[in-house]
C-alpha cells in the first residue's frame, strides 16, 4: 500500500506535536517545516523546496498568535500570518496542484459575535491585527480556490487545550497556562467577572477533524471547529482548580489594552462540519481537563 505524505508547517508547536502522532498512526509519512529546523516561513525559496515534494496534504500551522501582541507588532503578524500564507498558496497551485491545503485559523476572524452560537455566515469584523491577518489569509484561499482551483479547507477554531509541554505564557492558550499555574498552587487571574462564554475543544478532537479534512473529498470549504458548547471563564477556572486540587482565583479589573480587543461570549455552531465532514467532538471539558493532567509528555 502506498503511504500518504503530509507536510506540517509549524510542526513543533502544541497542535503540531499531536497532529504528527495522529498522522503517523494513520500511516502517513510526515515532514516538518519549522523555524526550529532552521526554516523560515517568510523565505519563499525554503517553502518552494518542500512544496515541490508534492505532499498529499499540507497543514499550515506556522504563524504568530496573540491578539494584544498583534496590535503591538502589526507588520510581523501580517508578514507571517498573511503574506507568507499567500506565498504558500501560490507555490502550491504552481508546483503541487494536487496537494490539499489545511489552514489552521481562528474564531477571532469573526470579532465580536452578534449572536451565539456563531455559524460560518456570521459577518467577519476582527478586533485585532491577529484576527485580521488570519481573515485575509482565509479570504485569499477563497480567491485562489476560485481563480486557480486551490484545494483547501480552512478551520476557524475555538480555544484548544490538552497535554502540552510547559512553556512561557505569551498571552494565548489560556487553559493550558491555567492548568500549569494551578499545578503550582498559584493564583489564576480572571479579567472582569468571568461570565463570558468560551468554546473549548480538546486537542484529540481537533486533530481528528484535521485528519478527516485531509481524507475528505470536500474542498474549498471554511468550517468552525469547536466543541459546540459554551463554558464561562469563571467555571472553567473553578473546574481546573477542583480537578488539580490546588490554586485559587482572583478577579481583577480589565487592562485597557485587553479590554479593547475582548470579543465577549463565543460559542461555535458546528452544524456544518458535522454534516459535511461527519465530525463530532467526543471529549467533554471536564474529561479533557482530567486527561490533560493524567498525560505525561
Exactly one of 130, 161, 177, 266 is catalytic; name it: 130
- What cell was used for 174? 489560556
What is the C-alpha separation between 205 and 222, in angstroms, rounded? 17
Of 159, 208, 158, nearest to 179 (Cα)?
A: 159
Is 28 catalytic? The answer is no
- What cell was used for 47? 517553502
* Beta pairing, strands 187-191 & 100-106: unpaired
Query: Under a CB-based contact definition with an 8 Å cutoff, are residues 158 and 201 in contact?
Result: yes
For 97-158, give the DSSP string: TTPEEEEEEEGGGSBS-SSSSB-TTS--B-SSHHHHHHHHHHHHHHHHHHHH---EEEEEE-
Of 76, 74, 100, 82, nearest to 4 (Cα)?
A: 100
Q: Which helix (H) or strand (E) holds 277?
A: helix 271-277
Indicate which residues carry an active-site annotation: 130
Amino acid at each position: 500500500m502506498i503511504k500518504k505524505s503530509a507536510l506540517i508547517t509549524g510542526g513543533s508547536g502544541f497542535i503540531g506535536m499531536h497532529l504528527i502522532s495522529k498522522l503517523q498512526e494513520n500511516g502517513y509519512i510526515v515532514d516538518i517545516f519549522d523555524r526550529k529546523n532552521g526554516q523560515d516561513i517568510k523565505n519563499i525559496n525554503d517553502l518552494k523546496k518542500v512544496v515541490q515534494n508534492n505532499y498529499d496534504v499540507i497543514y499550515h500551522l506556522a504563524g504568530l498568535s496573540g491578539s494584544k501582541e498583534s496590535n503591538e507588532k502589526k507588520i510581523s503578524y501580517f508578514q507571517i500570518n498573511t503574506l507568507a500564507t499567500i506565498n504558500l498558496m501560490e507555490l502550491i497551485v504552481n508546483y503541487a496542484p494536487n496537494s490539499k491545503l489545511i489552514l489552521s485559523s481562528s474564531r477571532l476572524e469573526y470579532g465580536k459575535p452578534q449572536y451565539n452560537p456563531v455559524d460560518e455566515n456570521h459577518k467577519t469584523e476582527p478586533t485585532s491585527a491577529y484576527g485580521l491577518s488570519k481573515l485575509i489569509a482565509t479570504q485569499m484561499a477563497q480567491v485562489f480556490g476560485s481563480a486557480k482551483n486551490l484545494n483547501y479547507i480552512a478551520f476557524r477554531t475555538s480555544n484548544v487545550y490538552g497535554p502540552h509541554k510547559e512553556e512561557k505564557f505569551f498571552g494565548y492558550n489560556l487553559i493550558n497556562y491555567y492548568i500549569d499555574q494551578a499545578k503550582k498552587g498559584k493564583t489564576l487571574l480572571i479579567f472582569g467577572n468571568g461570565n463570558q462564554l468560551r468554546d473549548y475543544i480538546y486537542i484529540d478532537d481537533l486533530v481528528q477533524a484535521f485528519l478527516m479534512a485531509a481524507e475528505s473529498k470536500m474542498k474549498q470549504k471554511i468550517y468552525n471547529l469547536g466543541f459546540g458548547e459554551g463554558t464561562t471563564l469563571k467555571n472553567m477556572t473553578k473546574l481546573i482548580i477542583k480537578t488539580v486540587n490546588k490554586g485559587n482565583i482572583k478577579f481583577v479589573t480589565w487592562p485597557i489594552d485587553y479590554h479593547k480587543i475582548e470579543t465577549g461570549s463565543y460559542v461555535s455552531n458546528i452544524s456544518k462540519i458535522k454534516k459535511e465532514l461527519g465530525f463530532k467532538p467526543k471529549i467533554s471539558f471536564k474529561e479533557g481537563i482530567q486527561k490533560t493532567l493524567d498525560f505525561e509528555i
